[in-house]
Amino acid sequence: MPGGSSPKPTVSPSTTRPANPWPVLCLLLAALLASACGTSRQATPPAEARLIEEFRKWEGTPYRLGGGSRRGVDCSSFVQIVMRDAYGISIPGTTREQMQVGRRVPPGTARLGDLVFFQTGRTTYHVGILMRDDFFMHASTSRGVTIDRLREPYWQQRMIQVRRVTERS
């Protein structure tokens, strides 16, 4: 190219960044390996399979404050919808209200399906759903519905509580 510039990658008009498939692939691989090592005949435990199925439906959906559809969703609505569709559990629609449901559990005992809460600003809160192996799914303000690791410094420093709203997980 003239001037040594390289061509810019083409970006789909509906998204600014393609979804990263690695977190989902890692979760599926971990589930497969765990099932191969145990005596269980199921490849993925039912509760985990339901969460993965819900994530796949929503993956890449853009973040939209107050949104509750695949055109745009915020973190608390995403958690509310996934808990309803995966577990049949009705929880409130705002993060502050969700911080009051279920029972608080120590972070070291957190497990699949628990709600993980973060303080991301002086009066701003964020929520996600714990997956396997320290992963959690959530509606990120910058990347939409995605999966991240709790041990990432950003999330570790901001985690304020874990709540269990189901005993089935």
| Residues with a known catalytic role | 75, 126, 138
Phi, psi (degrees; rounded to nearest 5) at 7? -65, 145
C-alpha distances in angstroms, 18 versus 14, 138, 146? 10, 16, 11
Sole residue written with tokens 């090592």: 37
Task: State the sign of the Cα–Cα–Cα–Cα dihedral 80, 81, 87, 89.
Answer: positive
C-alpha distances in angstroms, 38 versus 24, 33, 52? 21, 9, 20
